[in-house]
Structure 1
């Protein structure tokens, strides 16, 4: 992580400062964001954030599904997606039926692993409401351009009962060999798996998923996996789900 940050110091210096923002958690697009609870045992729970990209498909970070004490990936049946969670109440809930992640992802925070730190959680029950759409990047888009107006919302361990959000973030591609999005949105435990949103064509779309940050908030960029890393897999899963309706 340190090498990644130093390599991009010039871009980081020119990024805008992210700001906490007021928002309506029950209004779209925030209504498509939920809490991802993983039950590891009696009184053992780990939580992240996940975003609906289909009625039965949620996007999160792969490391959220790792059982560190047992050194293994969790079974789908212990994964709960909770939409609209607020102080114990929620709008909808579903267990996971299955999940997909990159075959080459190994749990950890080393830079080579980060670009594969994504997971797509297939839900047993459809969640009512409007899912978010994944960005379909144009082939002629400038990968070096700084993207402005990025938003991100999730459930941090600092405020686990409430969704919090940031706006006016900036994001840019890592110029190194790993395909990553660096950004200045806050990233603390619990917020892993939250989607980076940007308005395109008048509607917010998912441009990446948050996977890592630095404990010294505001001094170094956080890290996200761009949608290009998992879009093909996600679209195939959405197509398969649509055919089963």
Structure 2
């Protein structure tokens, strides 16, 4: 019993043994050749709150998780000037560095929401950079909203223990489709919030989802992500307005476990957002 409580303690504080997340499936992108195709993925650093992961979807817009632009202690959105995006960050160098000018979050997102599925399903934000990144070596990713159960996906992320080099998991799967939440077999850890989930297309990888949380579901460790589609289009439209809406609306719904809401009542034991984490 004592070991069980220790395991739960370690889970919540992000220091699980490596085997619990099976990090052998991750490939560190340590060389320039390995990292070249993923330069538009970068580390989002939030002053006083650590870091997340994000990806360019235009020359000045970064897609990430909404909770990445919130202060963990104040439970409020941080100042844009405190957010820095380091595209292609690898071993102390970035392909480009920009500060946030402003950002907008999904209108249904609330940082302290009790409805866990609503919180994950709306955990999307777009950061507008102070200056565009117009480097031909850094190509923003297109988006794809066609994920289905069983699809093969990839993820590129920074996380605790691998904060200085991006890691690629070339093959994981969609385990369940519970719009607007997708359940993945991908390996995630603290700092991986906002990481892009990719599908392969004829024109290269496209972003289909954004990592929000990790959980145990059906007796296995999984990643949870929000689907894209219309919400991201609406966020981009919001940024075109003079005064974008920065705060989300409270989520509605009963307080139930994420497993029950995903159609697996009683099977989920732990659910945890992947907050920004310090080095």
Cα distance in 2, alignment partners of residues 215 and 54 from structure 1 = 34
Structure 1 match to 2:226: 225
Tell me the alpha carbon deviations over residues 33-64 of structure 1, each in whole angstroms, 9 at most, x when there is no partner: 0000011xxxx341000000000000000111
Does structure 1 residue 47 correspond to structure 2 residue 48?
no
Mapping of residues 7-22 of structure 1, within 5 Å: 19-21=25-27
Structure 2 match to 1:214: 215
Over 3 Å counting, the alpha-carbon distance change for 1:84 and 1:25 in structure 2 is farther
Cα distance in 1, alignment partners of residues 229 and 67 from structure 2 = 19
Tell me, yes or no, if the aligned pair for 2:86 and 2:96 is still in contact at 8 Å.
yes
Cα distance in 1, alignment partners of residues 145 and 25 from structure 2 = 26
Structure 2 residue corresponding to 1:34, chosen from 20, 27, 42: 42
Over 3 Å counting, the alpha-carbon distance change for 1:224 and 1:165 in structure 2 is same
Cα distance in 2, alignment partners of residues 144 and 206 from structure 1 = 14
Deviation at 1:173, TM superposition (A): 4.3
TM-score (norm 2): 0.68
Deviation at 1:231, TM superposition (A): 3.1
Does structure 1 residue 101 correspond to structure 2 residue 105?
yes
RMSD over aligned Cα, in angstroms?
2.6
Over 3 Å counting, the alpha-carbon distance change for 1:145 and 1:45 in structure 2 is closer
Structure 2 match to 1:9: none
Mapping of residues 85-100 of structure 1, within 5 Å: 85-100=89-104
Cα distance in 1, alignment partners of residues 236 and 68 from structure 2 = 22
Listed as ranges, the gaps of 5+ residues in structure 1 are 1-16, 138-142, 241-245
Over 3 Å counting, the alpha-carbon distance change for 1:45 and 1:25 in structure 2 is farther
Deviation at 1:227, TM superposition (A): 1.3
Over 3 Å counting, the alpha-carbon distance change for 1:215 and 1:182 in structure 2 is closer
Tell me, yes or no, if the aligned pair for 1:77 and 1:95 is still in contact at 8 Å.
yes
Listed as ranges, the gaps of 5+ residues in structure 2 are 1-22, 242-279
Structure 1 match to 2:253: none
Does structure 1 residue 72 correspond to structure 2 residue 76?
yes
| SS of residue paired to 1:36 | strand
Matched residues, number:
210
Tell me, yes or no, if the aligned pair for 1:51 and 1:60 is still in contact at 8 Å.
yes
